[in-house]
Amino acid sequence: MRILALALLCAGAAPATADPHRDFLQAEEAIAAGRTAEVKRLIDALSDYPLTPYLELAWAERRLAVVSHEEVARVLDAHGGIPLAFSLRRAWLERLARDGRHDLLLRYHEEDGHVASACLAAQAQWRTGRHVQAWQRVARLWSTGESLPDACDPVLAAWRQAGELTPQRAWERFVLATHRGNLRLARYLQRFLPPEGQGLARSWLALRAAPAGLAAFAQAGDPGDPRRAQVIEDVFRRAARHDPAAARSLLAELEATPLLPAPLAGALRETLGIALARAGHGDALRWLTTARSDDALAWRAAAALRAGDHETLHDAVASMSVAEASRERWRYWRARALHALGRPEGLRELEALAGERSYYGFSAADLLDRPYRMQHRPLTVAADLLDAVNAAPEVRRAAEWLALDRTREARREWHRLLVREDGPPPRAAAVIAHGWGWHEAAIRAAAAAREWDDLDLRFPRAHRELVRKAAAASDLPEARIYAVLRQESAFMSDARSSAGALGLMQLLPVTARQVAREARRPRPGARALMAPAENLMLGSLYLAGLERRYAGHPVLASAAYNAGPGRVRDWRPAQAPVSSAIWIETVPFRETRRYLRSVLAYHVIYAERLGETPPRLRDLMPPVPP
């Protein structure tokens, strides 16, 4: 993405050099090659350029092995708030530790979440006799389910030698590692437990693999030992998630154990009820009659929805915490239950919800046959505030990075701007980013400011011509493509998910290749797949294929786009059709439930944004067939 010259004009005056972008890129190359004279010449020529601090930081890091500590300190003092400073600082702290410059290390260490640096700081405190502070820091670092880096080994050894590693701390970290599924670390941590604790730990790990022995474990040992309850809860939760039906029998065995504590028995029943409700079993309500947690009550409400039990649905919502019951989701379903039970407050709540621009607002409007309320209100910010924010160094640097097509670096600057305690109001940042055409940043800043009503900003019609072409090729409505695009990436063209999905429509490379082959298009590599034109085309063709697979059912196609066709097959009703509204509420994955609600609402909003008559939500949600 190349931002228009407007961004640079807003960000401040250009430096004296004729082509600062060319000179900056040349300076980066010179730094990488170690050409000292050229680096110095270019840095001098770019003295007023917003990105020159990056060059100074990179040059200091490139020469870190030979540059003086005083010079590094000077560079960090001048530019320590710039994202690249984190890399220099962390590397420098390692050198300070090797050189024994403990006081300097402690002066420049920052609590930025970098574990290795924190261990070096703890080591510096220990080496300089500040044992209390050192041991407190190590105790915090110890409390993790992840392995610690090698830099932590010396101070961890000193901490243990000082007697700070108690059996309780060893057990707590073993629990964290086990819950995290980091079993290699859990097995390593057993050596720090006393013999009795080691036996308990071995039993836990064995039971996770073979839960059938859980009842026998529950009958042995001290029933009042809270560690045994931890084992039973964890093993049973895993067993229930894997096979809810088999977990019923396991719970019956456990409840026959004479010394099973009543609170633990209640927690296990709740766990089983949740697992059964997630899997769509008809008897889930039986196990959730005494539900207490919001999670269990939510699944009790979902099971009641599936069973058409309005009384239980109302009671489940009424039993939730105030914060949970106040969410739009439960306001809607409580109103539906009250309305079905003939209570007038249900209609009043539905009328209130029908004024909202949201999935549940549109759903309430459908029930009442009311028009949808879009409530577009442009976000306005005073000109003097915009001028002040445009002059902020982070904004000037972000604009330059965007002009260089370096979105990742621009994004880091923007993040620093928004999280600064003395930073500008996010609403001003949203207006500026929107003016640049940087839609992902504008959307996120508006969300940070809780400004929801500027539809131009939150639902831009970017890539319009590409969306038109994709719609024509896939025979999908443009609004449908925009809805998925908006939900999947919020217009972040270089988006990469943890699962490896790429680009605007978040396509897995293997899926993209399959779609391209079926459409007789060139096989896309990763670079091609990140290009907006190719990504939009292949993503739209994939979505259209899912629509055909599910006989034009938008809900099932969207669910398959998010979670995969295999899961959708498992989630479909076994016998009779189910209302899409109820089916969505009972999808096991929270992420997919949110995804479906968002995509459906965005489809309606984008149809209005494109000048069309918005479809009714109910028309996009036919019953889900078995």
DSSP secondary structure of 115-142: HHHHHHHHHHHHHTT-HHHHHHHHHHHH
Question: CA angle, corner 121, sides to 119 and 122, nearest 5?
Answer: 65
Residue 251: which of 222, 299, 286 has the closest Cα?
286
What would the two tokens of residue 320 be? 């939730």
- What's the average model confidence in pLDDT over 459-468? 98
CA gap 497, 503 in Å, rounded? 9
Which residues are paired to 578 by β-bridges? 624
- Reported confidence tier of residue 4, pLDDT bands at 50, 70, 90: very low
Helix (H, G, I), strand (E, B) or coil at 208: helix
CA gap 276, 566 in Å, rounded? 19
What would the two tokens of residue 372 be? 């949808």
Yes or no: say if 119 and 157 are a contact pair by the CB < 8 Å rule: no
Confidence at residue 8, expressed as pLDDT on a 0 to 100 scale: 45
- Reported confidence tier of residue 15, pLDDT bands at 50, 70, 90: low
C-alpha dihedral, 339 to 344 to 345 to 349, nearest 10°: 60
Name the residue with tokens 């599936």.
306
Q: How many CB atoms are located within 10 Å of the residue 481 CB?
A: 26
- What's the average model confidence in pLDDT over 397-405? 97
Confidence at residue 572, expressed as pLDDT on a 0 to 100 scale: 96
DSSP string over 7-28? HHHHH----SSS-HHHHHHHHH
Yes or no: say if 410 and 492 are a contact pair by the CB < 8 Å rule: no
- What's the average model confidence in pLDDT over 13-39? 88
What would the two tokens of residue 374 be? 């879009």
**Strand stretches in 187-333, DSSP E:** none
Question: CA angle, corner 419, sides to 414 and 422, nearest 5?
Answer: 105
Mean of the per-residue pLDDT values for the chain? Answer: 95
| Percent of the chain scoring above 90 in pLDDT | 93
- Reported confidence tier of residue 6, pLDDT bands at 50, 70, 90: very low
Name the residue with tokens 């909202």.
356
User: What pTM was estimated for this model as a whole?
Assistant: 0.93
Q: What are the backbone angles phi and psi of residue 292, rounded to the nearest 5°?
A: -125, -40
- What's the average model confidence in pLDDT over 208-212? 94
Residues ≥6 apart with Cβ < 8 Å to 172: 143
- Reported confidence tier of residue 56, pLDDT bands at 50, 70, 90: very high
Alpha-carbon distances of 485 from 39, 459, 478, 530, 604, rounded to whole Å: 42, 10, 10, 13, 14
Q: Over 326-380, what HEC string results?
A: CCHHHHHHHHHHHHHCCCHHHHHHHHHHCCCCCHHHHHHHHHHCCCCCCCCCCCC
Query: pLDDT tens for residues 423-447?
Result: 889 999 999 999 999 999 999 999 9
Q: What are the backbone angles phi and psi of residue 496, rounded to the nearest 5°?
A: -135, 125
Yes or no: say if 51 and 24 are a contact pair by the CB < 8 Å rule: yes
Confidence at residue 17, expressed as pLDDT on a 0 to 100 scale: 67
Residue 301: which of 339, 331, 346, 269 has the closest Cα?
331
Alpha-carbon distances of 334 from 141, 319, 400, rounded to whole Å: 44, 11, 51
Query: pLDDT tens for residues 545-584?
Result: 999 999 999 999 999 999 999 999 999 998 899 999 999 9
Write out the catalytic residue numbers.
Answer: 488
- Flag whether pLDDT at 147 surpasses 80: yes
Yes or no: say if 58 and 31 are a contact pair by the CB < 8 Å rule: yes
- What's the average model confidence in pLDDT over 90-119? 97
| Helix, strand, coil % over all residues of the chain, rounded to 5 | 70, 0, 30
Residue 263: which of 271, 175, 277 has the closest Cα?
271
Confidence at residue 432, expressed as pLDDT on a 0 to 100 scale: 97
| Percent of the chain scoring above 70 in pLDDT | 97
Yes or no: say if 477 and 614 are a contact pair by the CB < 8 Å rule: no
- Read off the amino acid at residue 47: S
- Flag whether pLDDT at 5 surpasses 50: no
Q: What letter does residue 588 receive in the DSSP assignment?
A: S
Which residues are paired to 133 by β-bridges? none
Query: pLDDT tens for residues 373-383?
Result: 999 999 999 99
Residue 236: which of 206, 278, 197, 208 has the closest Cα?
208
What would the two tokens of residue 591 be? 């992420």
Q: Crossing angle of helices 52-62/36-45, nearest 10°? A: 160
Query: pLDDT tens for residues 296-343?
Result: 999 999 999 999 999 999 999 999 999 999 999 999 999 999 999 999
Confidence at residue 9, expressed as pLDDT on a 0 to 100 scale: 44
- Flag whether pLDDT at 516 surpasses 90: yes
CA gap 347, 105 in Å, rounded? 64
- Flag whether pLDDT at 10 surpasses 50: no
